[in-house]
Amino acid sequence: MQKMRNFLELHAFGVCSAMGERLGIASSRIRMWFIYISFLTLGSPVIVYMALAFVRSIKHYIMQAKRNPLKY
């Protein structure tokens, strides 16, 4: 179980951990509440999670392009 959790934390988009760092809350608590809310609302937070993951990954690529002086 721990190996699967580590794999998901490493390869998932890191939205919950980024939110946890920004808000000062443990990422495990955010993940737990995300699961609870997903069950109660029949999965609609999954759309929000994917949107946040997309924004986070695009932000990462934009920041990497700005740091590379040979890009332009």
pLDDT tens per residue, range 25-43: 888 888 888 888 888 888 7
The pTM of this model reads: 0.54
How far is the C-alpha of 70 from the C-alpha of 72, rounded, in Å? 6
> Range of 34's domain?
2-67
Residue 71 to residues 55, 57, 59, 66, Cα–Cα distance (Å):
22, 19, 17, 8
Residue 62 to residues 33, 41, 51, 54, 67, Cα–Cα distance (Å):
30, 33, 16, 12, 9
Whether 46 is in a domain gets the answer: yes
Two structure tokens written together for 53: 């993951």
Whether 72 is in a domain gets the answer: no
pLDDT exceeding 70 applies to what percent of the chain? 74
Residues near 31 by Cβ (< 8 Å), separated by ≥ 6?
16
The structural domain count of the chain equals 1
